[in-house]
Amino acid sequence: MSPEYDAYDSSGRLLAEERAGDNAPPLSVSELSGLLKRTVEDRFGHVRLRGEISGFKRAASGHLYLALKDENAVLDGVMWKGGAQRLAFSPQDGVEVIATGKLTTYPGRSKYQIVIDRMELAGEGALMALLEKLKAKLAGEGLFAAERKKPLPFLPRTIGVVTSPTGAVIRDILHRLADRCPTNVLLWPVLVQGQGAAEQVARAVRGFSAMDGSGPLPRPDLVIVARGGGSIEDLWSFNEEIVVRAVADCTIPIISAVGHETDTTLCDYAADRRAPTPTAAAEMAVPVRAELLAGLSEMGLRAGRAVRRGAAQARERLDMQARLMPTPDMLLAPQRQRLDQLSDGLVSGLRHRLADARAHLGQAGGALRPALLQQYVSRAGERLDRLQMRPAYLTRALSERATAFDRVSRHFTSLNPDLPLQRGYARVMAQGQLVQSVAAAQAAGQVTLHFKDGTVDAAVGDAAMLEKSAPGVISSPARPARKARDDGEKQQQDLFS
């Protein structure tokens, strides 16, 4: 056997074989991964890491996936749904945090990662960086724009307050409202800090906005979101995006009164008005009742003085115009004088009229005498006798009229143009006109001969030419006489029939 074969046989075998004294049996990949996982978890069961969030992602299941990095290394991390729900802030890329959890391995990818149980911001600087980043994002969406701000009602009947029911804030607001102008207050109790506070505040604001007033509770005319002072960590719930969006979307005018004068949250930017303190919010919400009453009294007095002054001025103007106007006696004097003149003329006119009537009656009465009336009646009777109709006169007149009519009828009959046709004559017509000469017939060329029993069309020309063209007389077949129209149609009476 060659030296090359011996070397190959001793250093690299094709088949694995058990060797004497070998106490390290081969492990599977899964077994080794399990050993690594237990070793890492036992050695690093509790760790706290400081790093910057990168590649943050929230899965549909609610789990959080991210990476923590610094200048030289990157470590993957996961936070399960239960721990994610307890977070006091919304993780974002670029935020420096301190994560507490344990290291483990993920055999599916041969990677190690940290399972985070708790995550906190790494100092106030990181918190402010997160705040500024969220502020820039929401401002870019226009949630803080001035045109979105709604005016506050002058005198709200119902005010909705979102705050803690056990703190001093609600007592301060109620006390201040009672001092200035008592009104109805609806309290929506919420947590103002800690786990779940942001969700409760957002739910309360959206709840007030969704009320329509049809239920047992009236819809607020104004909403106040209030909290006492504290550190930036205590007020962080009012910087959460869910709260800011709920305040910006509220359809009711809203006042943000979170913290003291120097405290500022993103909720203040999204609200329609910002109050430095909850007490100041109550002062903004309602006017002072005593001032309103005093103002009403003053306006009442001013209105009374204005009415009285106007009435006095109107009375003065009326008096001045009355002095310039004529008196009733002056206005009626011409009419009275004319009435007197017409009265006098009426009496004299009636007297003259009565005298004329008496004279006319006397004249007419002298003409109305019985003898004259009898003479007039006698003459009228004679005229009536002369005008009476006698039968002899009528008979003679009718006989004379009948004789005259017979003469006229015989005369018309003798003038009938169709009467000579009964004796063998013919009437020559051309183009609807009577032909009365040879020249007219030759000029027409074609004529129509009317006989007693019909009409015949004939051509007129030189006699020699007619004999050469055809023997005998050239004529067209006789047309039968026109039949009478139907009984239903109207026909013209023959004047000579």
By the 8 A CB rule, do 105 and 111 touch?
yes
Question: Which has more confidence, 263 or 17?
Answer: 263
Lowest mean pLDDT among 297-311, 359-373, 470-484: 470-484
Taking CA atoms, 112 is separated from 33, 100, 115, 244, in Å, by 11, 16, 10, 38
For the chain, residues classed under CATH 3.40.50.2300 are 145-291
Please tell me the distance from the alpha carbon of residue 426 to that of residue 399, in angstroms, as a whole number.
39
Sheet of strand 446-451, all strands in order from the earlier edge strand to the far edge: 433-434, 427-430, 446-451, 454-459, 479-480
Alpha helices in 368-485 (DSSP H): 370-386, 391-414, 438-444, 463-469
Query: Which pLDDT band holds residue 4 (cuts at 50, 70, 90)?
Result: very low
DSSP single-letter state for residue 333: H
Provide the β-strand partners of residue 428.
449
Q: List, in sequence order, the alpha helices (H) in 325-390.
A: 328-367, 370-386
CATH fold of the domain at 29-122: OB fold (Dihydrolipoamide Acetyltransferase, E2P) (2.40.50)
pLDDT value at residue 367 = 65
Average pLDDT of 412-434?
82
pLDDT of residue 345: 84
> Which CATH architecture fits 145-291?
3-Layer(aba) Sandwich (3.40)
3-state class (DSSP) for residue 470: coil
Task: Classify burial at 321, counting beta carbons within 10 Å of its beta carbon; exposed 0-12, middle 13-18, buried 19 or more.
Answer: exposed
**Which pLDDT belongs to residue 244?**
93
Q: Coil, strand, or helix at residue 117?
A: strand
- Separation of alpha carbons 258 and 278, rounded Å: 7
Of 308 and 108, the structure prediction assigns the larger pLDDT to 308
> Is the Cβ–Cβ distance between 238 and 265 less than 8 Å?
yes
pLDDT in tens, 425-449: 888 888 888 888 888 888 888 889 8
Burial of 28 (0-12, 13-18, 19+ CB in 10 A): exposed
- What is residue 111's predicted lDDT score, i.e. its pLDDT? 81
- Using CB atoms within 10 Å of the CB of residue 283, give its burial: 0 to 12 exposed, 13 to 18 middle, 19+ buried: middle
Q: What is the pLDDT of residue 416?
A: 78
pLDDT tens digits for range 204-261: 999 999 998 888 899 999 999 999 888 777 888 898 889 999 999 999 999 999 988 8
- Residue 362: is its pLDDT beyond 90? no
Task: State the distance between the two ends of the chain, measured CA to CA, in whole angstroms.
Answer: 166
Report CA Rg, the chain. 67
Count of all residues that appear for the chain in the document: 497
Looking at residue 434, its pLDDT comes to: 86
Indicate whether this model's pTM tops 0.85: no
What angle in degrees, to the nearest 10, is found between the helix axes of 168-180 and 278-285? Answer: 30
> How far does Cα 415 stand from its chain's mean position?
91
Tokens read off for 369: 């005498």
Q: What does the pLDDT read at residue 485?
A: 42
430 and 444 in contact (C-beta within 8 Å)? yes
For residues 75 and 68, give the distance between their C-alpha atoms in angstroms, rounded to a whole number.
5
Token pair listed for 70: 């610094």
Q: How much is the average pLDDT of 413-422? A: 79
pLDDT band at 306 (very low <50, low <70, confident <90, very high): very high
Q: Percent helix, strand, coil in the chain (nearest 5)?
A: 50, 20, 35
CB neighbours of 320 closer than 8 A, spacing ≥ 6? none
Q: Where in the chain is the domain with CATH 2.40.50.140?
A: 29-122
Burial 285-299 (b: 16+ CB within 10 A, else e): bbeeeeeeeeeeeee
Spatial contact of 267 and 237, defined as CB atoms under 8 Å apart: no
Residue 321 contacts by C-beta under 8 Å, 6 or more apart in sequence? Answer: none
Q: What is the per-residue pLDDT for 283? A: 92
Distance of CA 105 to CAs 79, 116, 403, Å?
Answer: 14, 13, 155
